Amino acid sequence: MASTTDPGEGRTFSLAAVIARGFGVMAGNPLPIFGIAFLIGELPQLLLSYFGPLATAAISVEVKNKNPFGLLTMWPFLPIVLLSLSVYLFLIALVQGALVRATLAYAQGRRASMSDSLRAGLAKALPLIGLLVLMVFAIAFGFVLFVVPAILLYVRWSVASPALVAENLGVFAAFGRSTYLTRGARWQIFVLQVLSVIAILVVQSIVAGTFGVNVGAPAGVATPTIAELVATGMIGTATTAAWASLQTSLYVELRDWKDGPEADTLADVFA
């Protein structure tokens, strides 16, 4: 696969190396990678998708019984919605930080346990939440400006999360570090993201076909079947694990390309 040559010391950046490292992480240390992706990333969403419709139906009945206008009595549930959103963001940040930790350990020839990875993710959860929220708003605004700016921003900031965790950076410093690391390789990074999306769609189609369900369909208000839960869980776990492993591997390769083989930037992660 195509590579980019850096003027400094003739170092090169290769997508093939990124992909090989990413899949090597998942194959070499599967328990923390897939365990965290499932237990923290996917299981809470599966439980919500199963019990959520039941709770929604119960609330709707209660609202109709007490108020014919329905929506006027929904405001007491606003704190629950906000709490649920906060928990959701926290879990995303925890998973992201933990999987970055496990992948970075593999980059140094180490094996990160699930508990070590989760501790590292917990320590970085709050700044990762801030980074995630700012990125989502900026990219959403980019989509309003005819999509292309959103793609450019996403590629530019694609390794901000690994940089924040690995180098103990603040939110804005992580954005700046990602901007520096991706400069000169953004077309290759864009190709990697496109290939990742295609791979996810292929896996989704294979799993959905195997279980005879339509995973991509809107959830609606019906409680999902066991087959739908299993298929969704498999797809979500594989997607989360692969995406985090590849993005962190991308960071490692870009860092080595720009700065030379790892210096002491990961020391704080393993302290």
Give a yes or no: residue 268 inside a domain.
no
Burial class (CB in 10 A: 0-12, 13-18, 19+), 264: exposed
Q: Work out the pLDDT band at 267, boundaries 50, 70, 90.
A: very low
Note the pLDDT tens digit of each residue in 208-232. 888 777 765 555 556 678 888 888 8
Number of domains observed in the structure of the chain: 1
Phi/psi at 193 (5° precision): -65, -40
Q: H-type helices in 183-225, by residue range? A: 186-211
Domain containing residue 37: 3-261
Note the pLDDT tens digit of each residue in 135-182. 999 998 888 877 888 899 999 999 999 999 999 999 999 999 999 999
Query: How many angstroms separate the CA atoms of 187 and 193, rounded?
Result: 10
Helix (H) or strand (E) holding 5: strand 3-5
Would you state the structure tokens that stand for residue 30, as one six-digit string? Answer: 């599967």
Is-contact 101 117, C-beta < 8 A?
yes
Would you state the structure tokens that stand for residue 176, as one six-digit string? Answer: 């700046």
Query: How many angstroms separate the CA atoms of 174 and 168, rounded?
Result: 9
Note the pLDDT tens digit of each residue in 27-75. 888 888 999 999 888 888 887 776 655 555 555 555 455 555 444 455 5
Q: Work out the pLDDT band at 8, boundaries 50, 70, 90.
A: low
Query: How many angstroms separate the CA atoms of 200 and 205, rounded?
Result: 9
Helices and strands, number each (H, E), in the chain: 11, 2
Phi/psi at 13 (5° precision): -115, 130
Note the pLDDT tens digit of each residue in 96-129. 999 999 888 887 888 888 888 999 999 999 999 9
Give a yes or no: residue 194 inside a domain.
yes
Give a yes or no: residue 46 inside a domain.
yes
Give a yes or no: residue 214 inside a domain.
yes
5 forms beta bridges with 12
DSSP 3-state of 90: helix
Give a yes or no: residue 267 inside a domain.
no
Give a yes or no: residue 271 inside a domain.
no
Give a yes or no: residue 44 inside a domain.
yes
Give a yes or no: residue 79 inside a domain.
yes
Tell me which of 144-148, 190-194, 262-266 is least confident: 262-266
What DSSP assignment string belongs to 114-170? HHHHHHHHHHTHHHHHHHHHHHHHHHHHHHHTTSHHHHHHHHHTTTHHHHHHHHT--
- pTM comes to 0.82
Q: H-type helices in 214-261, by residue range? A: 226-259
Is-contact 258 6, C-beta < 8 A?
yes
pLDDT at 13 over 50: yes
* CA 56 and chain centroid, separation: 27
**Neighbour count for residue 12 (Cβ, 10 Å):** 13
Q: What is residue 232's predicted lDDT score, i.e. its pLDDT?
A: 86
Burial class (CB in 10 A: 0-12, 13-18, 19+), 61: exposed
